[in-house]
Structure 1
Amino acid sequence: MRYTEAHSSTHTSQAANKTLRNTYGLLSLTLLFSAFTAGVSMTMNFANMNIFVLLIGFYGLLFLTHKFKNSPLGILCVFALTGFMGLTLGPILSAYMSLPGGGSLIMTALGITGLSFLGLSAYALISKRDFSFLNGFITVGFFVLLFAVIAGIFIKMPALQIFISAGFALFSGAVILLQTNQIVRGGETNYILATVNLYVSLYNMFLSILSLLGMARDD
């Protein structure tokens, strides 16, 4: 009985390590590809994407990624999704680059995002605690932020914009912590879905931090 339990625990640990390696490997490649498409977008001077085109493109590619999550096509869908998000990032970065010291703002936001990701991932890997309690926080946070974003369309209040940006940063951090924890504990075995969740969280965290830095300078 003890041998069976030990064997099962070892197998789960090996599977978790494999999922973790595949996730981080694919995430690294998609981040590089996203940076490439963002650079193309900046070079070609793409305008900000229409909100409806953005939503249709994002959720359409996200749907395809989930549909083919257990197929090699799923990897292509991940690159299509992250490449598309890179294109949407280009005009935003171009706008910041046009500001005095905009380049340093972008690099600072990148640095904070990277350090936050490393810190949260390391904590989830080392502690191996059960962070499933964050599911409730993430669910509630999603609807709170959704209502705040809708309100922000009609109410132009700096305080509300700060709340939205700070809220997305915290929300993204919680998702990174929970997703990494689920991989470590064997709750997430699909590295394609794990990669997408981590990428979207990093994307949102970076934009949120960049927005907060810009607002701190009244830009």
Structure 2
Amino acid sequence: MEEFQQVAPVVSSLTDEKRVAFYKKTYTHLAMAVLLFVIVEWVFFQIEPLVNFAFSMTQGWRWLLMLGGFMLATNYAEKMAHKTHDINKQYLGLLLYVVAEAFIFIPLIGIAMMIAESGGGNILNQAAILTLSLFTGLSGVVLITKKDFSFLKSMLTIGFFIALGLIVAGMLFGFNLGLWFSVGMVVLASGSILYQTSNMVHKYSEDQYVGASLGLFASLMLLFWYILSILSND
């Protein structure tokens, strides 16, 4: 989980006008990150060797290698976005995170596109609608109630470590994690959205809107991944 370097008063202590302005900046940057993800994903799918390479990395131990690379890249991106006072580096961290997400999504989105082409319905649109609806509802709960969900941090950390262990075990011993694992990850991603939105309200300072948007984007994409996984396996 990210750390916070506060150089200004936390958002919850600001006037209503400044607090609303911070929320607007954060969600504007989140929307920009989602749009950039769509653009980068489209560009990636125009590069056939890159798509083939991404699909080849889903086999056996290569998936663990790809997952490890993704975690290193996103961890570095989070540090850039949260631990520097240089706005250019914060934006670079957000950009790196979006590109890393777009790359690791290539196989899953490719499968969804193949299902659509075979008459299985446009599950990409369905997953996007379900994800945005759930994200909006969960964020609304925090913004309306102003409840502090920081107590979820330890539970989320344990949950993510258990999930990572199951993923590694599944790859090493060749068993399918199945539908219920994806359902569990949707629950975990939902908790992460509550936690990240709560951080935006209670933990961040006025000038940390880029880091706040990255945290929300990470949780949103995790939710999208597992909702899309569930629909792809129906």
Aligned length: 207
CA distance in 2, matches of 1:126, 1:35: 30
- Does the 8 A contact of 1:141 with 1:171 survive in 2? yes
1:89 equivalent to 2:105? Answer: yes
- Does the 8 A contact of 1:120 with 1:177 survive in 2? yes
Write the mapping of 1:90-169 to structure 2, written as runs, cut at 5 A.
90-99=106-115, 100-102=118-120, 104-158=122-176, 160-169=177-186
- Does the 8 A contact of 1:134 with 1:174 survive in 2? yes
1:193 equivalent to 2:211? Answer: yes
1:182 equivalent to 2:199? Answer: yes
- Does the 8 A contact of 1:124 with 1:180 survive in 2? yes
Deviates more, 1:111-120 or 1:77-86: 77-86
Deviates more, 1:56-65 or 1:101-110: 56-65
Tell me which amino acid in the other structure corresponds to 1:27.
L
CA distance in 2, matches of 1:10, 1:202: 26
Corresponding residue number in structure 2 for 1:63: 76
Corresponding residue number in structure 1 for 2:3: none
- Does the 8 A contact of 2:156 with 2:191 survive in 1? yes
Corresponding residue number in structure 2 for 1:3: none
Identity of aligned residues (%): 26
How far apart are 1:43 and its partner, in Å?
A: 2.3
CA distance in 1, matches of 2:67, 2:163: 18
CA distance in 2, matches of 1:58, 1:154: 18
CA distance in 2, matches of 1:74, 1:53: 24
Q: Deviations over 1:57-109 (max 9, x none)?
A: 55235314413542122112211320232133233212221123455111111
Corresponding residue number in structure 2 for 1:21: 24
Tell me which amino acid in the other structure corresponds to 1:59.
L
Corresponding residue number in structure 2 for 1:34: 37
171, 188, 200: which one pairs with 2:188?
171
How far apart are 1:132 and its partner, in Å?
A: 2.1
More helix by percentage: 1
Tell me which amino acid in the other structure corresponds to 2:125.
M
Corresponding residue number in structure 2 for 1:74: 90
Q: Deviations over 1:24-70 (max 9, x none)?
A: 11111111011011111122231216443553355235314413542
Tell me which amino acid in the other structure corresponds to 2:221.
Y
Deviates more, 1:134-143 or 1:114-123: 134-143
Q: Deviations over 1:108-137 (max 9, x none)?
A: 111110101100111110011122221222
Over the aligned positions, Cα root-mean-square deviation in angstroms equals 2.5
Tell me which amino acid in the other structure corresponds to 1:40.
V
SS, match of residue 214 in structure 2: helix
Instruction: Extract unaligned runs of 5+ from structure 1.
Output: 1-7
**TM-score, structure 1 as length reference:** 0.82
- Does the 8 A contact of 1:17 with 1:184 survive in 2? no
